[in-house]
Chains A and B, each alone.
Chain A
Amino acid sequence: MQLTNRKKVIEQKPMTFAERIYFPAIVKGLRITLRHFFKKIPTIKYPEEIRPYSKNFRGQHSLKRDEEGRERCTACGLCALSCPAEAITMTAAERKKGEEHLYREEKYASVYEINMLRCIFCGLCEEACPKEAIYLDGPHVTADYLRKDFIYGKDKLVEPTFDITKLKS
């Protein structure tokens, strides 16, 4: 017995003459493919063309420097603490005399590593940082062959120094 009216019995009708000679259907199909032939192709040819990133795209992390080119990070560990994927590890060190031009505060991270295989690019480290030292403003993390190569150290994360005086000239 039928409880709902949703069941629909589809009966197979014998094909009509127009269907049996196939031609109307074939012409219809040919028209569809021809329309697609002249359609604009949505493919983006990757290496030559790059899809524009959205403004708030979260890509690879970068450790920022201040206006004098010193590392902002003070190795407080809040980013590591906030990280839900536990991707960040760091070792803190004390700034020595004569290193004032390298690190902004007395403490800095001698080792700072992010495991890009663990990272979920949620951006919580960025939010947690009190020193505005870490941002996820880079491009995609690229593919690699070995797991160990996905652990990015300071060599890949710290943004390169640039001399602002040179920029002006």
Chain B
Amino acid sequence: MEWSFVIEKLILVFIIFVVTLLIAMYSTLAERKIAGFMQDRYGPDRAGLFGILQPLCDGGKFFFKEEIIPAGAHKALFILGPTIAIITACISSAVIPWGQELQIGDRTISLQVADVNVGILYMFGVIALGVYGIMLGGWASNNKFSLMGAIRAASQSISYEIAMGLSIIALLMVTQSLSLKEIVAQQSGFVNWNIWAQPLGFIIFMVCAFAECNRVPFDLPECETELVGGYHTEYSSMKLGLYMFSEYINMFVSSALMASLYFGGYNFPFMNDLGLSANMITILGVVVFFIKILLFIFFFMWVRWTLPRFRYDQLMNLGWKMLIPLAIANIVLTGVFTLIKDTYFS
């Protein structure tokens, strides 16, 4: 391995890290602004123009708050909880292809940190790890409410991961590949987007993504009204900040995943007919990809300020009795259609 390759990747990692943090930061502001607009009021608009400086103020406040570790808490695990949450949130974006290749001089730079050929599996593994952060944190707090939140988080993510995995299997039957780069490259143009082949699969995947991110209507792990703050009841200062941050990063990454699995990632309509240079297309592709991601993030927030929370039994019913059978039906349907297509239309 040559040095330039390492440096190139390090720069890419750094940029992605910074962008992720920036988006997570401004998601907090966007969330409050969108909540405001949907409830016929302005969100925070006192700190800077339109409240642009609000996330900085919040971050600064987090740092200056007193850090409390409860006397009965398991100290090591209590600290490990938010650490795992933020680390898993950050490393899950490694396999997402942010764009095509960039040609600088005679070097070709791939805008993907790691082209793992089982990218989706990596993704799922990391996302599944993410729940340990919540579980450990909730358990180590030595608090009933935290423990309840943690248990809910664990059972919720186990239930919804099954449906999520099943919906992905149907997608894999279409794409015939586990590499995210390959999957996105297949969806060039507009008609090749996987959403047209897998509408049901997309809906199942999206519902599960909501559940995996602990977003409303599936925010049972932290439901403020019943469990005080759920798993982060006992957390204060920047440790709480890390939990919140990891939630927003997870939202960003799952938006990116949905955009690249079903909505063509960096592909946009007529990308090869405009007569642009390859680099130009790549840059435009990155911009388009981010627009798609931001739209998904907006959708996450839009849903949050529309729907009430599910009851716990409703959540389990939806997961086990609706989504899993639907996902299996989707696999069967996909199989039948592929068979018909291969026998009669090839």
Contacts and interface: CB of A to CB of B under 8 A. Distances in A.
Interface stretch (B31-39, B72-80, B276-284): B31-39
B306 A43 contact: no
B41 A43 contact: yes
A117 interface: no
Given A21-B322, A37-B34, A30 B39 contact: no
B302 interface: yes
Contact of A32 (B45, B306, B322): B306
A36 B307 contact: no
A8 interface: no
B2 interface: no
Contacts of B307: 26, 29
Contact of A33 (B38, B41, B45, B322): B38
A96 interface: no
Interface size class of A (residues with CB under 8 A): 10 to 19
Interface string B9-30: 0000000000000000000000
B273 interface: no
B303 interface: yes
A41 B37 contact: yes
B40 A30 contact: no
B306 A39 contact: no
Contacts of B322: 21
Contacts of B37: 36-37, 41
A149 B39 CA distance: 39
B5 interface: no
Contacts of B302: 30, 33-34, 37
Interface of chain B: mostly helix, strand, loop or mixed? loop
Nearest to A31: B306
Interface in A61-110: none
Interface in B303-340: 303, 305-307, 322
Contact of B38 (A21, A37, A43): A37
B196 interface: no
A7 interface: no
B306 A45 contact: no
A42 interface: yes
Interface string A23-51: 00010011011101101011101000000
A17 to B, nearest CB: 11
B50 interface: no
B190 interface: no
A41 B38 contact: no
B236 to A, nearest CB: 31
A21 B302 CA distance: 19
A33 B42 contact: no
Contacts of A41: 37, 40-42
B42 A45 contact: yes
Contacts of B306: 26, 29-30, 32-33
A18 to B, nearest CB: 14
A42 B39 CA distance: 11
A85 B85 CA distance: 62
Nearest to A30: B306
A39 B305 contact: no
Contacts of A45: 42, 45
Q: Nearest 3 A-B pairs (CB), nearest first?
A: A33-B306, A29-B306, A33-B38
Interface of A: 21, 26, 29-30, 32-34, 36-37, 39, 41-43, 45
19 contacts: A26-B303, A26-B306, A26-B307, A30-B302, A30-B303, A30-B306, A33-B38, A33-B305, A36-B37, A36-B38, A37-B34, A37-B37, A41-B41, A41-B42, A42-B40, A43-B40, A43-B41, A43-B42, A45-B45
Interface of B: 34, 37-42, 45, 302-303, 305-307, 322
